[in-house]
Homo-oligomer: A and B are copies of this chain.
Amino acid sequence: MKYAGEAHSLKVEKVLFQGKSDYQNVMVFQSSTYGKVLVLDGVIQLTERDECAYQEMITHLPLCSIPNPKKVLVIGGGDGGVLREVSRHSSVEQIDICEIDKMVVDVSKQYFPDVAVGYDDPRVKLHIGDGVAFLKAVPEGTYDAIIVDSSDPIGPAQELFEKPFFESVAKALRQGGVVCTQAESIWLHMHIIEDIVANCRQIFKGSVNYAWTTVPTYPRHILITFPSPCDKLLLSYLIVSPPPPIFSLGVIGFMLCSTEGPLVDFKHPVNPIDKDECCCKSKRPLKFYNSEIHSAAFCLPSFAKKVIESKP
């Protein structure tokens, strides 16, 4: 076998945490080549190795597209990675986060200090609760930017991809404010993406764009366990493998929309991240994001472009 020399490097080295919150099963394990891995209800949420791509892109695509963002809301993102990225922006004065599951926050602080470091920023205010309800209570026009770091739109997070939620988001944004929301993979979910784009076009009267990037461990894999007698033999192989029918497609997309008001040209960032900002406050430099990759993220393969641009 071509890669036989590396044959043991991906197995689950050690399960570090297993717990059950009011909302889900939470698990952390140590892998060899992807560092520590956070798993919620059997679905990989982040790995230390590739979390940079997702966190940096979902944050800086919106925040670098508007001048001087001041008030930012994060919905979901309890691990703190998006907060870490938001806090690179010195113009920001207020960072609210609404995460439903406190166990995710606590586990991240304990096992992923380089991700949860986002909580150390004094501008951050954590609200434990339901994002949909939180948004409804937000006074109109409050935020410059809202980042929705949700799980997939199949299952519990479904309403985060539907019109009433987008309407609440639009209301909570100032004129010309921006939202960035996780929006699945063009290789597998074009039918879902079509619907999201159509919904967004109806709600957001500024610009509506689809961007994408590469994250090796996305779409988030699902754990498989087998009944014995194969259980023990296989768990270490399967725990990091995609189950049928989910190939690890390795790409994730984002919807980037703005409300009526000053037009936002997402493809040409007006608020580049300064190199000094990237490294300040003992945070690591940016690993993935840069202005070139920002613009490139909006270039779609022909098959996706055709579908997305044809939406009314």
Chain A residues near B (Cβ < 8 Å): 1-3, 6-11, 32-34, 41-43, 50, 52-53, 152, 154-155, 187, 214, 216-217, 222, 224, 226, 229-230, 233-234, 236-238, 240-251, 285-290, 292-293, 295-297, 299-303, 305
Contact = CB atoms under 8 A, between A and B. Distances in A.
A154 to B, nearest CB: 6
A158 to B, nearest CB: 11
A165 B226 CA distance: 47
Assembly stoichiometry (copies)? 2
B299 A293 contact: yes
Contacts of A248: 216, 242, 247-250
A234 B41 CA distance: 23
Given A7-B244, A214-B250, A305 B287 contact: no
Contacts of A152: 2
B243 A2 contact: no
A167 B296 CA distance: 33
Contacts of A10: 244-247
Contacts of A285: 302
Nearest to A222: B1
A4 to B, nearest CB: 9
A16 to B, nearest CB: 19
Contacts of A246: 3, 6, 10
6 contacts: A7-B245, A187-B216, A214-B249, A229-B229, A292-B299, A293-B300
A192 to B, nearest CB: 12
Contact of A243 (B33, B237, B292): B237
B214 A251 contact: yes
Contacts of A11: 244-245
Given A234-B234, A242-B242, 13 more contacts: A1-B42, A2-B222, A10-B247, A32-B245, A226-B233, A230-B234, A237-B243, A237-B244, A241-B241, A289-B301, A289-B302, A290-B305, A293-B302
A245 B214 contact: no
B302 A244 contact: no
Contacts of A295: 296, 299
Given A187-B50, A224-B237, A216 B301 contact: no
A290 B304 CA distance: 11
A300 B290 CA distance: 9
- With most chain B CB atoms within 10 A of its CB, the pick from A155, A243, A245, A289 is A245
Given A187-B216, A293-B300, A300-B293, A245 B1 contact: no
A241 B293 CA distance: 29
A129 to B, nearest CB: 23
